Amino acid sequence: MNTAKRRTVIAGNWKMNFTPAEATAFINAVKPLVAGKNNCDVVFCAPYVTIAAAQAAAAGSNIKIGAENVHFAEKGAYTGEVSAQMLTACGVEYVIIGHSERRQYFGETDETVNLRTKAALAAGMKVILCLGEVKEQRLSGVTDEVVAMQTKLDLKDVSAEELKNVIIAYEPVWAIGTGLTATPEQADETCGVIRATLAKLYGADVAEGVTIQYGGSMNEKNAAELLSKVNVDGGLIGGASLVPEKFAAIVDAAQ
Ligand code: PEP
C-alpha cells in the first residue's frame, strides 16, 4: 500500500451467495468489526436481489454496497441484464466488471468489459475492473504481456478523468477460489506491471494515483504480507468475504 498516494480499498465479492435475510445478518455481524477502520474503504459487492437489504443494514456505517456486474446499454431488449442507470437509481456506487468467472462462464471479452466499464463510468459509478492471467499464461512466462494487454483493451477510450473512478483488481485466475495465492512478490510485481502500463497510457502521476487491488484467495492469514507491498492497494476477496471475522481481519491488516 502507498496510502500517501492512493486510497486502500478492501472489497468483498459475494458472488452467488446470500439471500436478503442472510445479507442483513452478515452486515449486522461485520458492521461493528469494521467500524472506525478508516484507513481503507470497505465495500461488499452483492447479487442484485440482495443489494437493497445489504444497503439498509449498512446505512450509517462505513460499509458501501456494490453490484457484481452491469450491462453497457441504458435499457432495451437484454433479458436478465441490469443497466448502470438502474444501479445508480438504487444508490449503488460500486460495480465489479470483468471478473474471471464472467469471462470464463458467461463469454465476456475485453471488448464487452470495456463497453461495460465505459457505461458504468458515464453513469458516475466506481468500477472495480478485474483482470489477470490464467495458469498456462503464468507458466509460459507471458503474465506481463497478458495483463498489459488487458489493461489497454479494458480501458480503451477511458479518459484520465474517468480513471479516477477505476480501481483495478489484479486477480490471477489460478488463485481465485483455489486456496492458491500469488506470493506477495508476484502480486507486487504484476500490480507494478499494470501500473507501468497505466503510466504509458496516462502518465506517471495519474498511474501513481490508481488503486490496484490483489485478489485470489486473500485471507486473514496472508493479507498483511500482501498489503505490505507498495503496489498492492487493497484486496478483492471472495471466500473470506462470507465470514465476518475473516473479512474484518483483512480490514484490520489494512489499517
Ligand atoms: C474473487 O472472486 O474475486 C476472489 C478473489 O475469490 P477468492 O478470494 O475466493 O479467491
Residue 30 lies in a domain: no
Task: Decide if 136 is catalytic.
Answer: no
pLDDT at 1: 84
Residue 53 lies in a domain: no
- For ligand 1, pick from 218, 220, 222, 243 the residue to mutate: most ligand atoms within 8 Å of CB: 218
45's grid cell: 459487492
- pLDDT, average across residues 68-84: 97
Segment 81-107, tens digit of pLDDT: 999 999 999 999 999 999 999 999 999
DSSP state, residue 215: E
Q: Is 239 in the pocket of ligand 1 (CB under 6 A)?
A: yes
Q: How many domains does the chain have?
A: 1
Residue 161 lies in a domain: yes
pLDDT at 3: 83
Distance (angstroms) between ligand 1 centre and the Cα of 246 equals 13
Segment 96-151, tens digit of pLDDT: 999 999 999 999 999 999 999 999 999 999 999 999 999 999 999 999 999 999 99
For the stretch 121-154, what's the b/e string if a residue is b when 16 or more beta carbons lie within 10 angstroms of its beta carbon? bebebbbbbbbbbbeebbeeeebbebbbebbeeb
Segment 202-216, tens digit of pLDDT: 999 999 999 999 999
d(CA 105, CA 247): 26
- Rg (C-alpha) for the chain, rounded Å, is 17
Q: Is 218 in the pocket of ligand 1 (CB under 6 A)?
A: yes
At residue 212, the 3 state secondary structure works out as strand
pLDDT at 2: 83
Distance (angstroms) between ligand 1 centre and the Cα of 218 equals 7
Output the residue whose Cα is nearest ligand 1's atom 4: 238
Q: Which domain holds residue 205?
A: 68-235
Q: Is 237 in the pocket of ligand 1 (CB under 6 A)?
A: yes
Label residue 34 by pLDDT band (50, 70, 90). very high
Mean pLDDT score of the chain: 97
Residue 73 lies in a domain: yes
Residue 52 lies in a domain: no
Residue 109 lies in a domain: yes
Say yes or no to pLDDT of 242 above 90.
yes
Please report, rounded to a whole number, the percentage of residues in the chain having pLDDT higher than 70.
100
pLDDT at 180: 85
Task: Decide if 99 is catalytic.
Answer: yes
Distance (angstroms) between ligand 1 centre and the Cα of 133 equals 14
d(CA 177, CA 173): 9
Residue 244 lies in a domain: no
pLDDT at 54: 98
- pLDDT, average across residues 220-229: 97
Segment 156-194, tens digit of pLDDT: 999 999 999 999 999 999 999 888 889 999 999 999 999
Distance (angstroms) between ligand 1 centre and the Cα of 237 equals 5
Residue 63 lies in a domain: no
Strand 8-13 and strand 212-215: the pairing is unpaired
Q: Residue 185 maps to which CATH number?
A: 3.20.20.70
- Which member of 99, 101, 108, 220 is catalytic? 99
